[in-house]
Amino acid sequence: MAEARYVLKYQTSLPGRAAFTIFLCASLAGVIFIALPLALLGLQAGGEAGWGTVLGAVVAALMFAGLSMMAGLRAFGPGERITLSNEGFKYDGLFRVSRIRWSEVESFRLTKGDFISRLRVQTRPEARGGARRLVLDVGGLTPDAEELVRAFAQCTGIEPLLDKKAKKKPAGKA
């Protein structure tokens, strides 16, 4: 079997890693300054109200710990997120790796929120696993997300769909 030739590799940028490091510190601060004092207050109060507070502190600590894990993986984990080859692309997410051939891609679009950029990819019904909608986190990449969309358009021969927010006209404009 022929070895896939890599066209482009998209990695987490240095500013992206810095942002995830700040998010990691904020999440750890949540454990230290919110969950731990709540648990101590609950243990001091005693009785039913105290145990309810302790339970709330444990839930908060688990939530902040999960956010810390996610931020730590993005900040200090392997930086490679999307790899484009002549046959398809590979997306390394936090919890799974997706491999999609270019012939399976039906459409794609870049959506941007306040802090998050996502590439939404729709696969064809006849593709492996049937039609799927993939939502790929493409924020904080080097090269940037717009370059990724241009590379997707070149590799698939499909023009990207417009972002739904981009289609709407601003209020008061004709």
Contact 12, 140 (CB under 8 A): yes
pLDDT of residue 164: 67
What pLDDT sits at residue 119?
Answer: 93
Q: Residue 155 half-sphere exposure, CB side, CA atoms within 13 Å? A: 26
The model's pLDDT over 122-155, given as tens digits with 9 standing for 90+, comes to 999 988 878 899 999 888 888 888 999 999 999 9
pLDDT digits (tens, 9 = 90+) for 9-18: 888 888 889 9
Q: What pLDDT shows up at residue 66?
A: 92
Name the residue among 80, 85, 78, 145 with its Cα closest to residue 117.
Answer: 145
- The 10 Å CB-count burial string (b at 16+, else e) for 85-111 is bebbbbbbeeeeebebebebbbebbbb
In the numeric block, which tokens belong to residue 173?
Answer: 């404009």
pLDDT of the residue at 1:
40
State which residues of the chain have pLDDT below 70. Answer: 1-6, 164-174
Phi and psi at 139, nearest 5°, equal: -75, 145
